[in-house]
Amino acid sequence: MATLMALFYTFLWRILLMVVHLNRSLVSYFRVRGRSWKSRLWERAVSVLLLPVALIGLSDQRRLSDKPDTNGSPAHGTRTKCRRTPWLCDTRSLEKLPVHIGLLVAEEEPSYTDIAKLVVWCMAVGISYVSVYDHHGFLQKNNSRVLEEIVRKQEELLGGEGSKYSVEFLSSNKPQNVLSCRSTVKVLSPEDGKQSIVEAAQQICRSVENRERSSKDISVSVLDILLRESKNIPDPDLVVKFGLVNSTLGFLPWHIRLTEFISLPSHRDVLYEEFLGALQQYSACQQRLGQ
């Protein structure tokens, strides 16, 4: 009898323990559920309260985007314009631009389309003088084709902005044609290099022979004046050489004493980013001018 009573009390004790554990589990569950429900309710209430603030901020942002900047143009319009014509914004980051840039094609066959594209980019960023050179003289022999390609590329790349950019096309030291002038383009060949020095020296000799000038007057400065008069443009600040040949190939030997040279692999299919990279490299360089 005592054994049965002991077994009964043991069984009853275990049932009580199970009830206690079940009670604790249910209490914990409902506490968590209650917190989660309350937090969700609180989050929804906060969202409802903050919604008008978010809408006000959005309307203020739209008003700011439509507000004109100091130049009177909307900020959104400026960003769109920069995407359409990147050179308008890229040049602002450059500390300096070359006044005169040379495009030296050190490849066998020039691509007139790519050269015209480079010339138009030079015009668009605000470079005043552009000299185009190939050591075979193909470009100078076909300067009318170069001119046609420049006009076509000007319309293609600049579109409606093209009327703001103009170019004076020089050939054989004389103005040949004027497109709608802020930039001057000259097509050069080897004859404009060493040959021009020979011709200037012959001119000095003839003036001495004709007693128009004394032999004592012959100096480097006299030759320099004659050569600059024949070119009628400033010395190149930068020459971008296209090709793998490590040579200037006779490009204006008298005028490049202080010129910065930057090489690119090829002018064919050249990217605007490569052209801009050359300008950035030039802008960052320190020209000590012999000091």
Q: In the CATH scheme, what is the homologous superfamily, with its name and number, of domain 88-284?
A: Decaprenyl diphosphate synthase-like (3.40.1180.10)
Give the list of residues 6+ apart from residue 176 with CB closer than 8 angstroms, or none.
143, 147, 169, 170
Domain boundaries, the chain: 1-67, 88-284
Closest CA to 89 of 115, 61, 126, 56: 126
**What are the structure tokens assigned to 137, written together?**
């003289």
Cα distance between residue 244 and residue 265, in whole Å: 6
User: What's the DSSP call for residue 70?
Assistant: T
Q: HEC states along 134-193?
A: ECCCHHHHCHHHHHHHHHHHHHHHHHHHHHHCCEEEEECCEEEEEECCCEEEEEECHHHC
In this structure, what are the phi and psi dihedrals at residue 138, rounded to the nearest 5 degrees?
-60, -40
Instruction: Report phi then psi at 289, rounded to 5.
Output: 55, 45
How many H helices and E strands in the chain? 9, 7
Tokens of 229: 């008069």
pTM for this predicted structure: 0.64
pLDDT at 253: 87
Residues 121-134 as b/e (b if ≥16 CB within 10 A, e otherwise) read: bbbbbebbbbbbbb
| Predicted pLDDT of residue 46 | 47
Q: For residue 97, what are its two tokens?
A: 């631009």
pLDDT of amino acid 199: 82
Report whether 237 contacts 102 (CB < 8 A).
Answer: no
Give the pLDDT confidence score for residue 64 in this predicted structure. 47
List the 129-134 sheet strands across, edge first. 174-179, 167-171, 183-188, 129-134, 100-105, 238-242, 260-264
Distances (CA, A) of 219 to 193, 207, 214, 276, 286: 19, 13, 11, 40, 31
Instruction: Give the per-residue pLDDT at 53.
Output: 46
Question: In the prediction, which pLDDT does 119 show?
Answer: 94
CA distance 123 to 260: 19
The contacts of residue 192 (CB under 8 Å, 6+ apart) are 133, 231, 252
Cβ atoms 178, 168 nearer than 8 A? yes
pLDDT tens-place values along the chain, 291 residues long? 667 676 767 776 677 667 656 666 665 555 545 555 555 565 565 455 555 544 454 455 555 445 555 454 454 555 555 665 666 677 778 889 999 999 999 998 899 999 999 999 998 898 989 999 999 999 999 988 999 999 899 888 887 665 556 566 665 544 444 344 467 888 888 888 777 788 888 888 888 888 888 878 788 888 777 777 655 678 899 999 999 999 999 898 888 888 999 999 999 999 999 999 999 999 998 876 655
Of how many residues is the chain composed? Answer: 291
The pLDDT of residue 102: 95
DSSP conformational letter for 4: H
Pair 98, 234: CB distance under 8 Å: no
Specify the pLDDT at position 59: 52
Looking at the DSSP bridge assignments, the partners of residue 178 are 168
Residues whose CB is less than 8 angstroms from the CB of residue 151 and which lie 6 or more positions away in sequence, other chains included: 179
Q: Residue 31 corresponds to which tokens in the numbers above?
A: 């506490």
Give the pLDDT confidence score for residue 134 in this predicted structure: 93
